[in-house]
Structure 1
Amino acid sequence: MSSRKSLSVVMIAKNEAELLPDCLRSVAWAAEIIMLDSGSQDDSIAIAESMGAKVFTHTDWQGFGKQRQLAQKHASHDYILMIDADERVTPELRQSIEQVLTAPGNGIVYSCARRNLFLGRFMRHSGWYPDRVNRLYANYRYCYNDDLVHESLNIDGANVVALSGDLLHLTCRDFFAFQRKQLRYAEEWANQRHQAGKRCGYLSILTHTFGAFCKTWLLRAGFLDGKQGLLLAVVNAQYTFNKYAALWALGRNYSEK
């Protein structure tokens, strides 16, 4: 019988003082908590240290993927649970993780179902649930890719097993903050594609924008999420428009440097 494995919770953060306490309390049962700070100007570091986290700093930002790689290098235990400050591990999810640590599988990566909050409602449709993300995995074997934004775990052919219980994600508590984050993601997405030699045509902007709305509202049953579902479909369309319009502009040198 395999011995029980130990867990490192790993996170990257910047100016998350408001969100950190509840997040850290939800994972206080882990063997260690690692937080890599990206240059916070608020009380994030003090809060994390006061709650038992090991805090490191790296301000040379090279994208979300590389920042997660650097954060993981500070972890010293068998398994990694990668989370963000706006996420909370529910008791049901904790129980599932504890079971994995007791009897881990070889060559397996574990996914969590996220319940995403949008303007006061935890969405059940619209492509926002179950929104599975690969977050629990063996340390020293798996790591994140180099993507600037929307980074993902390199699973290297591993089997993915779904955990029971939800990971609560406070995606959109403040609409303006959410919009600013979406705009930043769109810019980084466009820059990464542009640097990789990708281009898009004017018509592509329109078709992708319309497609994003239809996918959220119709194909992913956003209409079942009520008013928030309709608003989210519009927001997704707006985000998609920003991504492709920025890529189009970069390809024609319309963006000022």
Structure 2
Amino acid sequence: MKHIQISALLITFNEEKHIDAVIKNIDFADEIIVVDSFSTDETLIRLKGFPRVTVISRTFENFADQRNYAIAQAKYDWILFIDADERIPENLRQEILNVVKNTDEIVAYMFKRRFFFNKKVMRFSGLQSDTTYRLFRKGYAKYDENKIVHENLIVDGKSAILKHYMLHYCYTSNADYKRKMEHYASLKAKELYNKGKKFNLFHLILRPVYKFITNYVVRLGFLDGIEGFNICYLSAYGVWYRYKELQRLNSLPKL
């Protein structure tokens, strides 16, 4: 059977905690490209230990822009896009290799993700139904650059969901997750501002409350214990921070 070649892509910034493990995890790819936003920790130093990896330093504008740039650098027809804090277990690895060899009509695949807070699996808290595109044919998909955070992949063709789960080690501490929420919230506020959205107190007060109640009560976050409370609280905090930042942007003088 003909070998189908895969390009594995990452975008990184200060990922020294994860970079060794994720590169080893995707060593089945035929090429690995890392687009790094001038990391200030040991990410780039560690990457020098992987001679197969192509490293490109590029200024970060937003997630969609950086991901589309990475796609343009890939040589092969199938793209595997992975974040540094994600891992592909052996069963998912075999499923990936099987579908790229045997699929004709499907041009993009979504992965289900299993979230971890440190080493604890998070089964609820609004995380139980998460899926995201991670495997697709080059030329049939690109990220919508109108959405600069929580990127949306535009797929020209049929897509499907793989059976096995990707592992997502997104939460190592409350402080780490809080920083991520603030970063994402700032980009989302910029996206809203660019669309002409205006701040109001409803956003700042009721939307965070709604987010917390939805994830903690309706989506059973309380069953995840104290970790579930922390994640639901910090997710709500991210919503609050988004609209606080939109308020700041709305208050800037018009140029």
TM-score by length of 1: 0.91
What is the total number of aligned residue pairs between the two structures? 251
Verify the 8 A CA contact 2:125 2:228 in the aligned structure 1: yes
Verify the 8 A CA contact 1:119 1:228 in the aligned structure 2: no
Letter in 2 for 1:10: L
- Relative to structure 1, the CA distance from residue 74 to residue 121 in structure 2 (aligned partners, 3 Å threshold; closer, same or farther) is same
Alignment of 1:101-180 (within 5 A): 101-146=100-145, 147-156=147-156, 158-180=157-179
Verify the 8 A CA contact 2:118 2:169 in the aligned structure 1: no
Verify the 8 A CA contact 1:126 1:220 in the aligned structure 2: yes
Mean Cα displacement is larger for which, 91-100 or 40-49? 40-49
Give 5+ residue unaligned stretches, structure 1. none
Q: For residue 13 of structure 2, what is the aligned residue in structure 1?
A: 14
Percent of aligned pairs with the same residue?
A: 29
1:88 aligns with 2:87: yes
Letter in 2 for 1:54: T
RMSD of equivalent CA atoms: 1.8
1:56 aligns with 2:39: no
1:26 aligns with 2:28: no
How far apart in 2 are the matches of 1:218 and 1:42? Answer: 39
The runs of at least 4 consecutive aligned structure 1 residues that moved more than 4 Å come to none
How far apart in 1 are the matches of 2:27 and 2:129? Answer: 25
Verify the 8 A CA contact 1:20 1:47 in the aligned structure 2: yes
Q: For residue 207 of structure 2, what is the aligned residue in structure 1?
A: 208
Secondary structure of 1:73's counterpart equals helix
Q: CA deviation at 1:23?
A: 0.6
Give 5+ residue unaligned stretches, structure 2. none
Secondary structure of 2:80's counterpart equals strand
Verify the 8 A CA contact 1:206 1:241 in the aligned structure 2: yes
TM-score by length of 2: 0.91
